Structure 1
Amino acid sequence: MSDGLKAVFLAEQRMLLRLLTARLRDADAAQDVLQDLWLKLESLPSGPVADPAAYLFRMANNLAFDRRRSEQRRSARDGAWVDVQSDASDFPTAEEALLSRETLGRLQAALDGLPPRTAAIFRAYRFEGTPRKDIAVAEGISVSAVEKHLHRAYKTVQTFVAENGVDIA
């Protein structure tokens, strides 16, 4: 940095700080940006500057703008991060998880009590997403027969829900 630019910086330091404080609306941030400006000036190659005061004020204004834009991006990014984070209340307690696993085990036992073909059709349709028509072809039965097997399985689930007061939604 040239001695002339350094002298102008030192002479205008108070006005630069006032500009930065007005732009950033934060005295501490303004001090930081003023320090950044000084460091930036230290790293510049020396050379003639036509209007050193205007040059310094433009640099200060640009640094303040960059700081505000960076803060806005950080704030938006942090806000987006908070929005996608789950609240602790979204997770079940250990007791709720244990009760759910026990209930699921009892429901599995009820489904295991179905005839093998009915259980296989129910699993293919509900868990694997196989269309009824494809199940009918694979099992060598009509679509109507597949629907009857599904009805029997649904009846078992419905009975289990009614007997155990379970919410399966």
Structure 2
Amino acid sequence: MSDNGLRGIFLTQRPMLLRMLTARLASRDDAEDVLQDMWLRLDRLAGEPVAQPAAFLYRIAANLATDRRIASGRRTARDAAWLETQPAADELPDMERQLVARSQWRVVEAAIADMPERMATALRMFRIEGQPQRAIAETLEISVSGVEKLLQRAYRIIHDRLQQVDEDHPGPRRLGSGKGVDRAD
């Protein structure tokens, strides 16, 4: 049968092929895609003798539908397997935050250990024990203004140490830096 004959039979059978493919694939869009693939294959079949062209076209349609279902199943299985290996969306940031927080805490502890005793005491009393500055001033026998200055210097030391670590070790940004998690370095 000639190419024009096979294409003519395809055009005649197209509505029935579309119904069959839609039923097999459960999607009219997928069925239309298969019909498009069939039309393109007819170009490669030009000049090939076909004894029963209608049956031949239905066999091509059935084979393409099967191929599409198998590919879809493999794609679904591959995607599911990949998703199973990925941490949950909320796990990774928490784990990363914990690692960053532990690293920061070690830097803060070292900075406090290196501070003058009065400054470290004022910082611990204020930040850890939650004592008001007036009580700290009375305990240390200094003015409230003196406590404020000690705390400011303590915060500056901690800030500088964290900045230094951040500059020395590019990687995840410190929490609270407001610049996201990834470095632009």
Alignment TM-score, normalising by the size of structure 2:
0.52
Which amino acid is the alignment partner of residue 89 of structure 1?
D
**1:87 to partner: Cα distance:** 1.6
Q: Aligned partners of 2:97, 2:49: CA distance in 1, in Å?
A: 74
Which amino acid is the alignment partner of residue 59 of structure 2?
R
Q: Which residue matches 1:90?
A: 91
Aligned positions of 1:1-169 closer than 5 A = 2-91=3-92, 92=94, 96-101=98-103
Task: State the number of aligned residues.
Answer: 107
Deviations 1:83-119 (A, max 9, x none): 111123223366533432256679xxxxxxxxxxxxx
The secondary structure found in structure 2 opposite 1:80 is helix
**Percent identity of equivalent pairs:** 45
Aligned-residue CA RMSD (Å)? 2.3
Deviations 1:116-164 (A, max 9, x none): xxxxxxxxxxxxxxxxxxxxxxxxxxxxxxxxxxxxxxxxxxxxxxxxx
Q: Aligned partners of 2:5, 2:96: CA distance in 1, in Å?
A: 70
Is 57-66 or 42-51 further displaced after alignment? 42-51
Q: Aligned partners of 2:82, 2:54: CA distance in 1, in Å?
A: 42
**1:43 to partner: Cα distance:** 2.0
Which amino acid is the alignment partner of residue 60 of structure 2?
M
Q: Which residue matches 1:135?
A: none
**1:66 to partner: Cα distance:** 0.3
The secondary structure found in structure 2 opposite 1:45 is coil
Deviations 1:40-82 (A, max 9, x none): 1112231221000000000000000000000000000011111
Which amino acid is the alignment partner of residue 99 of structure 1?
A
Q: Which residue matches 2:139?
A: none
Pick closer, same or farther for the CA change 1:94–1:2 going to 2, 3 Å.
Answer: closer
Pick closer, same or farther for the CA change 1:55–1:98 going to 2, 3 Å.
Answer: closer
- Unaligned runs of 5+ residues in structure 2 are 109-185
- Unaligned runs of 5+ residues in structure 1 are 107-169
Q: Aligned partners of 2:98, 2:80: CA distance in 1, in Å?
A: 30
